[in-house]
Copies of this chain bind each other. A is one copy, B any other.
Amino acid sequence: MSEERPSGDPIRVLVWGENRHEVLEPHVAELYPEGMHTTIAEGLRRVLGPSVEVRTATLDEPEHGLDEQALEWADVLTWWGHKAHREVQDEVVDRVQQQVLSGLGLLVLHSGHFSKIFRRLMGTTCSLSWRNDGRQERVWTVDPGHPIAEGVPNPIRIDKQEMYGEFFDIPAPDELVFISSFEGGEVFRSGCTFRRGNGRIFYFSPGDQEYPVYDHPDVQRVIANGVRWARDPRGERRLPGLRRVAERSVW
């Protein structure tokens, strides 16, 4: 169990990035010269200022930068991966799952829908339809009272994006916050929340490596809102466990 921290303390966010496209593909490196994780981290600092502390970690670090200590430090973990989902070690996935069920907040971004950790937490295939034609996506708010939609225009317009369409094979979300439309006529449940154990999970689909989506101020705002929402206010970590209740209490 981690030490308890007052809920007024800065939110500690660990931004995890696969960091492969950015290294291997020049046109991605041009958009994200220090990696998408760096851009996401900067967006959080820009929107949340001193109320956030941000660190980053990437696949090629030892234990993918996700050792026990790093996860204990964080209140919220954000996850972007794509081409190297399979390289993520199963024991690290186990560890992240335990932490999420214990209260670590988790934001899963774009192609992270197919990550081991998201599929593990959802129990489904998390498959979807897609087409990468770099056309416009509009993100519509369908739950305007939700804290994740605070201060977000309706719709957000993202000029160039990959299309993600239904059927998206996820459990029915606990809350559906955003639905996207695409120029080809498709729709997608693009902002979904889930509670699992003591943890809160937010899936947000905008953000392909081929377009500067994480520079978009409204996308940054949604991610910042998501981080605030996903933080467990109790600031402690507890894995739900089997509990034998020894004695029957008397009424």
B167 with A240: CB separation less than 8 A: yes
> Is there a chain B Cβ closer than 8 Å to A56's Cβ?
no
Report the bound CA distance from A6 to B241 in whole Å: 40
**Nearest CB to that of A114 among chain B residues?**
B242
- CB-contacts of A86-133 with B (<8 A): 97, 101, 103, 114, 120-125, 127-131, 133
The reply to whether B131 and A248 form a contact with Cβ atoms under 8 Å apart is: yes
Asked if A249 meets B185 with Cβ closer than 8 Å, knowing A125-B241, A145-B232, A232-B145, the reply is yes
With a cutoff of 8 Å between Cβ atoms, the chain B residues found around residue A144 in the complex are 167, 198, 240
Which chain B residues border A131 with CB–CB below 8 Å?
244-248
A70 at the interface (CB under 8 A from B): no
Evaluate contact between A233 and B181: CB separation under 8 angstroms: no
A245 touches which of B101, B130, B183, B197 (Cβ 8 Å): B130
* Of the residues B143, B239, B245, contact of A172 by C-beta under 8 Å: B143
Q: Is A176 an interface residue (CB 8 A)?
A: yes
Minimum distance in angstroms from A100 CB to a CB of chain B: 9
Task: Give me the 6 closest cross-chain CB pairs, A-B, nearest first.
Answer: A184-B248, A169-B240, A121-B123, A129-B243, A131-B245, A145-B198
Q: A124-B197, A129-B245, A172-B174 are in contact. List 17 more A-B contacts (CB 8 A).
A: A122-B123, A129-B242, A129-B244, A130-B245, A135-B251, A136-B251, A140-B165, A140-B166, A140-B187, A142-B187, A144-B167, A145-B197, A145-B199, A166-B179, A172-B176, A179-B179, A181-B185
